[in-house]
A and B are shown apart, each in its own frame.
Chain A
Amino acid sequence: MSYHVIVIGAGSTGAAVAHDLALRGFRVTVVERGEVASGTSGRNHCLLHSGGRYAMRDPESARECIEENMILRRIMPEALELNDGLFVALDEQDLAWKERFLAACEECGIPAREIPVRQALALEPHLNPNILAAVQVPDGVFEPFRFCLSFLATARRNGATVLTYTEVVDFVFQGRTVAGVRVRDRRTGEERVIGGDIVVNAAGPWSGRIAAMAGVDVPVVPTAGVMISVGRRWNRMVINRLNMPGDGDIIVPQRRTAIIGTTSWRVEDPDFIPIPEDHVRLLLDRAERFIPGYTRGGIRGIFAVARPLVGRRGVAADGRELSRTFECFDHAADGVEGFVTITGGKMTTARAMAEKAVDVVCAKLGLEIPCRTREVPLLSYRAFFD
């Protein structure tokens, strides 16, 4: 088989799609306008979700998270810190959710277990001593850049070509079928056409813009969030608030830092997101409630990036109500052949997103090739630089 598939975007989704395609024997070219993970994936909160966060409101996403969490532990141990997470009740309101939270986790297949407050404070001595309950879940932490590089390194080893600093400027059509993309090499300024049998749009919050170049509409809602990293790692485990998902309710530890996030608002242009000052104040205020003295040791970095949420009609514009699950669009339904968009989802579910997208690609070409990404361990991210 020598079908050639072009993947637009080298974030977590594009990287996982390239890996899946290469494993199934496709010729693959990834085009990315910047560095690997220079968009949403890189500026991720680094949280390998157990699914606990979505168990009550978004069980479909929660199930995807726990399943993928367990797979990633097998296939990319090198890019993960596996120290679990705690959902803690800060007040009576949080505490009232506890039974429902435990039941929802059980329903979604997330191993969750209440531990005594005293034990939680022994594990995490910097945690607010007034917490009322703690539930342990298999959250984890990843390194987003190396997460993407691992998928791409493996794809490359299996024959894929990865072109960074290469921006898609237009689509090439044969009739109503996408026949390739016109790209600009940002290093030389030169433009050229790359021909392909199928083009997969994995451009995250930019996938609407890419789809528009092909004349189709993708209901992606770029929804930004702010995160603040500090100069000290206060917690070993991920600390979540036991409640419905809201602003500033997760502190992710990573390396020697801790990161509080996030907020949620809709943005028009994900290229540059000015950081609202009130979001910073709100996050620091919330962080204090979990870990008193959170900013002692200094603020290390403040950053914002847009999530690619899939829009649903009649849903609030701040994005908290939008599901974190993903969608694959075969644009044949919009009258354009040879073009597929995979968007939404979480970095945790990138592999599953890729599986779905490549299943669609196979179906479009009349192929039946099983997905193997659940089993095949990924190479070290450093193999990307071989």
Chain B
Amino acid sequence: MPTWQLRLLRGRPGGSPRLEIYRVELPAEAYLIDAVEKIWAEQDRSLLFRHACHHASCGACGVRVNGRERLMCITPLREFSPDRPIQVEPLRHFPWLGDLLVDVSPMMRRMAEVGFAIVRQDELTADRPLPEGIERITRFEDCIECGLCLSACPVMAADEAYLGPATLAAIERMLKEPRGGDTARLLTLADDPHGAWRCHSAMECTAVCPSNVDPASAIGRLRRRLIAERFRRWIGGGR
């Protein structure tokens, strides 16, 4: 069984973070989350990290792996070589709580402000007949609120008040399928210097999204919608 080298960012707020090397034996079929959990279980019980579902549904285990935002649970070890350390650091642009752990509540509060509902109509299988007793076919939204896009976004580094790719993509989803949401309020939220107009299309969000959300395209669609709304108001002589 191969021995993997992990270089983990360690430390606590107030102290200076450092990178520490750990060695862990696991088959190549295992995932990065298994390696980190095994280090915690067998080598260092003080290691802080987030995880829950281990199949990319909860969004808890986002980190930066060799500088790139990833979910540890779907990052297979076989992608790496046992000779070179795998560097694991916490997400950026979130309050750091220590080691690999960040506080995701600022993002969650923004998603709450949008009223982003996670249960959607399932369009993937909409062509099939409905089972008896089922009114509509639902599935959970693609966005798992993992925060990878916020960490990868260069604008987040420059503007703390920026709504961020996940929130803007959520607004775009809710405008398309409001599920009881107040669309006028959502448009106002997005039509803001810290909203859809702040994005400069670096596309990093879409590149790191583990869940098919494609926030960059969603922000593009949102901007077109905002322009259309402005035009409509201008034509109609309204506000």
| Interface residues of A, Cβ cutoff 8 Å to B | 34-38, 41-44, 46, 77-84, 113, 115, 119, 122-125, 136, 138, 143-146, 165, 186-189, 227, 229, 233, 236-237, 253-257, 259, 269, 271-272, 275, 277, 280, 300-303, 305, 380, 382-386
Contact = CB atoms under 8 A, between A and B. Distances in A.
A43 B139 contact: no
B140 A77 contact: no
Nearest to A119: B129
B58 A145 contact: yes
A255 B112 contact: no
A380 B45 CA distance: 32
Secondary structure at the B interface, as helix, strand, loop or mixed, is: loop
B12 interface: yes
B42 interface: yes
B128 A122 contact: yes
B117 A229 contact: no
A119 to B, nearest CB: 8
A254 B73 CA distance: 16
B112 A380 contact: yes
Interface stretch (B30-38, B160-168, B192-200, B218-226): B30-38
Contact of B12 (A37, A145, A188): A188
A77 B138 CA distance: 11
Contacts of B188: none
B105 to A, nearest CB: 4
A35 B52 contact: yes
A302 B131 contact: no
Interface stretch (B2-10, B118-126, B151-159): B118-126
B189 interface: no
A255 B56 CA distance: 10
Contact of A280 (B29, B48, B141): B29
Interface in B179-214: 211-212
A385 B131 contact: no
A383 B112 CA distance: 8
B128 A165 contact: no
Given A257-B57, A272-B41, A301-B73, A143 B129 contact: no
A263 B212 CA distance: 30
B132 interface: yes
B134 A83 contact: yes
Contacts of A227: 55
A289 to B, nearest CB: 21
A109 B12 CA distance: 53
A151 to B, nearest CB: 14
B131 A136 contact: yes
B104 to A, nearest CB: 7
A386 B104 CA distance: 11
A255 B30 contact: no
Contacts of B41: 269, 271-272
Nearest to A230: B55
25 contacts: A35-B52, A42-B58, A43-B54, A80-B119, A82-B134, A83-B131, A83-B138, A83-B139, A84-B133, A84-B134, A122-B128, A123-B128, A125-B128, A136-B131, A145-B57, A145-B58, A145-B59, A165-B48, A229-B55, A233-B124, A236-B137, A255-B139, A257-B55, A303-B55, A382-B109
B125 A303 contact: no
Contacts of A136: 131-133
A125 B153 CA distance: 40
Given A43-B54, A254-B57, A256-B124, A78 B119 contact: yes
A194 B212 CA distance: 44
Contacts of A36: 52
Nearest to A236: B125
Given A82-B134, A84-B133, A301-B31, A229 B112 contact: no
Contacts of B175: none
